[in-house]
Amino acid sequence: MGAGERVTTVKSTSNPAPEKRISEETVWMLAVRDTRCKVSFAKLFDHFAPRLKGFLMRSGMAAGQAEEVVQDVMLAVWHKAHMYDPGRAPVSGWIYQIARNRQIDVIRKENRPLPEALKEEPGTEPDASQILAVEQEADVLRKALAKLGASQREMIEKAYFGDLTHQEIENETGVPLGTIKSRIRLGLEKLRHELKEMRRDD
């Protein structure tokens, strides 16, 4: 299940014993896929569009360009909905893969060097920024953040919840850019570990 996806319990009508836990986002996506439900698509758009925009801007894309890419991505979600298989990927992972591919296309058309984070092979797990961009449930995430050092927690909160770029964080805090990136990277690694441990305990 993708990070931040709320869980709905669905009981099979043909065999009432087993229960399948699926996210609310998956319910919306399946409604778009199977019935072309515009209301469900609007819910998907409202949920993912601001998160996608923040993710793209943190990757170095200007706000206006990020908005255009988000529009393209969500349009692709509508047209490619028939291809979505919840057994192969969570909704968040599927949508972020579309965004990642579109971002790569834009960068290549502009003849800019591809950032290291985008050079990973398709099919790999979403990176920490993607995981945070769709958010863990507030109580779980708050507990995990509390286990980070103060400096790491501050940078992650500013970057992923304050929607600040690394440059904006440097301007606001006076902390050198390299230090900011290092704190965020180390903090995300620890946060991912803490969240994994919490899920294991559950």
CATH number at residue 111: 1.10.1740.10
| Pair 81, 159 in one domain | no
Query: Are 78 and 88 in a shared domain?
Result: yes
- Single residue among 135, 161, 188 that ends a domain in this structure: 135
Q: What is the CATH number of the domain that holds 188?
A: 1.10.10.10
- The angle formed by the CA atoms of residues 65, 68 and 72, to the nearest 5 degrees, is 135
**Residue that is written with structure tokens 């990136």 in the block:** 181
| pLDDT value of position 37 | 94
Residues 125 and 141 grouped into a single domain: no
Torsions phi, psi for 22 (to 5 deg): -125, 155
Q: What is the DSSP letter of 23?
A: E
| pLDDT tens for each residue of the chain, 202 residues long | 444 444 444 443 334 433 345 778 889 999 999 999 999 999 999 989 888 888 888 777 788 888 899 999 999 999 999 998 888 878 888 898 888 888 888 877 766 554 544 444 444 444 444 444 444 444 567 777 888 888 888 888 777 666 677 888 888 889 998 898 888 888 888 887 877 777 676 5
Tokens 């709320």 belong to 6
What is the per-residue burial (b if ≥16 Cβ within 10 Å, else e) of 134-163? bbbeeebbeebbeebeeebbbbbebbbeeb
Which of 135, 151, 177 is the C-terminal boundary of a domain? 135
Domain with 32, as residue range(s), is 1-135
pTM: 0.51
Looking at the fold, whether 102 and 171 belong to one and the same domain comes out as no
Say if residue 28 is in the same domain as residue 98: yes
- Collapsed DSSP state (helix, strand, coil) of residue 9: strand
Count the domains in the chain.
2
- Pair 130, 197 in one domain: no
Is there a single domain that holds both residue 174 and residue 101?
Answer: no
Alpha-carbon gap, residue 24 to 1, rounded angstroms = 11
- 145 and 108: one domain? no
Q: What gap in Å lies between CA 35 and CA 43, rounded to an integer?
A: 15
pLDDT of 161: 64
Domain endpoint, select from 115, 135, 155: 135
Contacts of 51 (CB under 8 A, 6+ apart): 133, 134, 135
Stated as kind and residue range, the H or E segment containing 21 is: strand 19-23
Same domain as 197, residue 100: no
Separation between Cα atoms, residue 116 and residue 119, nearest integer Å: 5
